[in-house]
Structures are given as structure tokens and as C-alpha cells.
Homo-oligomer: A and B are copies of this chain.
Amino acid sequence: MKIIRSVAEMQKETLMHKENKRSIGFAPTMGYFHKGHLQLIEEAKKENDIVAVSIFVNPLQFGENEDFGRYPRDEKRDIQLAESYGVDLLFIPTVEEMYPTKPQLNMVMVDRVDVLCGKSRPGHFDGVVTVLAKLFHIVQPNRAYFGLKDAQQIAVVDVLIQQYNFPIELIRVPTAREDNGLAMSSRNVYLTEQERAEAPAIIHALQEAKSLMENEERHPAVIVEKVRALLQQHTSAKIDYVELLSYPELKTIEQINQQVIVAVAVQFEKARLIDNIIYHP
């Protein structure tokens, strides 16, 4: 495994692989690896000659009062894990390497971001598409791998790739979960023991939503209220949002008659957790 910290060196390396007709699978990450990252890498290994992974905690996608400074980092452990997972190219740039000058050309999402995390994290997805456009040019992937836990991120990356004609296939990888159903997240380390015991209530509430839809419930409000009630009943977390929207368009709907997402964000004392299910009636 090559560990690369310079943009120029990474780009040279990936262009060389492309010239030699080797396909590149790419998983962009913020590090602090867990099983979810491993699954992205496993999928990438199946379908590509070269697996590239980036570790970059992107300041542009964090709001002023968010956890950029204390986002969990453990580079040494991540390097060991990446090596053991069979990663070929591990790209770990600094903030200065990625953003050497102040911004002169911004990317601004004007759709799919006025809901869910986009509403509570203004500018977040602008930061996401900006760093991904850069990383896609640096890494030159044939396929890019994203976890469905960040379903809105996938909907946004879909826009980036389609609208700007990136020659990249977007691969959606199912959310990795702990045995009790809790969605894997680097932020789970910030849960107290009590919160960790409560957190599986999130997926249980979403499963109840799915079960209602399977039983022909077609009113979004009924589903949303049920999920809210279950979260309030079983966790101490503050509900940031519970929303049911069309997917991947992320529009509010009157009736459930197309593919939808039921998505949740809750704020525990030190960790904001998200989860979702996607359902097609």
C-alpha cells in the first residue's frame, strides 16, 4: 500500500494506473475506520484493479458550531486497517494541501438540500460536493463507493456526477450495522453507555415505519408521527428531524406511491446520529 500526502503525487499515480488500463475504485472517507468503511473497500476490491481510499476531515463541510475540531481521528490505526483491508493507494492530504488558496469558485447545491441534514447543516453539502469534485479529479476513479447511511449525501453526489458528466459510476453500499442494529458511525464513540443502550431504538423505529408501509399505510404524516413517538419513548436524544420524502429527489409527498426514504437525525449529548431506510411500495 502506498501512503500519499501530496495532490500532485496522487494524481500522477492514478493517471499512471488509468494509462495502464487499470480500473480504480475509490472510497472517500473522513477516516476513523469502522466496519462501514471496510464494506466500501470490500465492494471496491471486487470490481476494480486498484482500490484508492482518501482520509480527509473536510473543514468545508462542517458548520461553525459543529465538531470539526473534535471529529475523531486516529491516522496510525487507519493506516494499519487500510493495509489489512488491501487498499492500494491511501491518500491523506492536509487541509493546506487541499485548499492552498482561499475559495475563488464555489459549488452551490440548489436542490435536494433544503431538507434533512441539509436544513440543519446549511452549506454542508456545498462542502461535500466541492471536496468530492476535487478528489474525483485527483483520484480519477471509475467507480466511487458511498454508504447508504448518508442517503442524502448519495442523492447529492448523484447530482454532482450526473449534472457535471463525471465518467464515474456511483456505487451505493448498504449501511453497516452493529449486531444490535445501530448504524456504524465514527461518531458512535461519543455515546455514553446509557446512550449506546438506547441508540438501537433508532433502527427499531425505522423498521416500524417500514412495517407500517408494508401494511399499506400511505400517509407520510402517520409514519413520521409513529417514528417520533418511538424515538421520544425509547431514547433521551433530542430529535433533530424525522422526515419521509421521495428518494432520491428528496421532495415532500402527499401519498406514498413511489420510492421513499424515512430519515432520522437525533442529537445525543455529544453525538449527532443519523439513520434511514429506503422503501419502494
Interface of A toward B, CB cutoff 8 Å: 7, 11, 15, 18-19, 21, 101, 103-112, 129, 133-134, 137-138, 140, 156, 159-160, 162-167
- Contacts of A104 on B, CB cut-off 8 Å? 109-112, 159, 163
Contact, CB under 8 Å: B110 / A107: no
- What 19 additional pairs, Cβ within 8 angstroms, besides A7-B165, A107-B108, A137-B167? A18-B19, A19-B21, A101-B162, A101-B163, A103-B163, A104-B112, A104-B159, A104-B163, A105-B108, A105-B109, A105-B111, A105-B156, A105-B159, A105-B160, A106-B110, A108-B108, A137-B164, A137-B166, A140-B167
Question: Given A19-B21, A159-B104, A160-B105, A11 and B167 touching (CB < 8 A)?
Answer: yes
- Contacts of A106 on B, CB cut-off 8 Å? 107-108, 110
- Contacts of A19 on B, CB cut-off 8 Å? 18, 21
- Contacts of A7 on B, CB cut-off 8 Å? 165
Q: Pick the contact of A105 from B21, B105, B129, B137 — CB < 8 Å? A: B129
Chain B min CB distance to A248 (Å):
11
Question: Given A18-B18, A19-B21, A164 and B105 touching (CB < 8 A)?
Answer: yes
Contact, CB under 8 Å: B11 / A163: no
Q: How far is A167 from B15 in the complex, measured between Cα atoms in Å?
A: 9
Most buried by B among A104, A156, A164: A104
- Contacts of A165 on B, CB cut-off 8 Å? 7, 11, 134, 137-138
Q: How far is A107 from B105 in the complex, measured between Cα atoms in Å?
A: 7
Q: How far is A21 from B18 in the complex, measured between Cα atoms in Å?
A: 9
Most buried by B among A11, A105, A108, A166: A105
Those 8 A-B pairs whose CB atoms lie nearest each other, nearest first:
A104-B111, A137-B165, A104-B159, A106-B108, A134-B165, A138-B165, A105-B159, A137-B166
- Contacts of A108 on B, CB cut-off 8 Å? 105-108
Q: Pick the contact of A164 from B15, B21, B134 — CB < 8 Å? A: B134
Q: How far is A7 from B167 in the complex, measured between Cα atoms in Å?
A: 11
- Contacts of A163 on B, CB cut-off 8 Å? 101, 103-105, 134
Contact, CB under 8 Å: B107 / A107: yes
Task: Please list 11 pairs of residues, one from A and one from B, whose beta carbons are closer than 8 Å in the complex, sorted by A's number.
Answer: A11-B165, A15-B167, A18-B18, A18-B19, A104-B109, A104-B112, A104-B159, A105-B156, A105-B164, A137-B164, A140-B167
- Contacts of A137 on B, CB cut-off 8 Å? 164-167
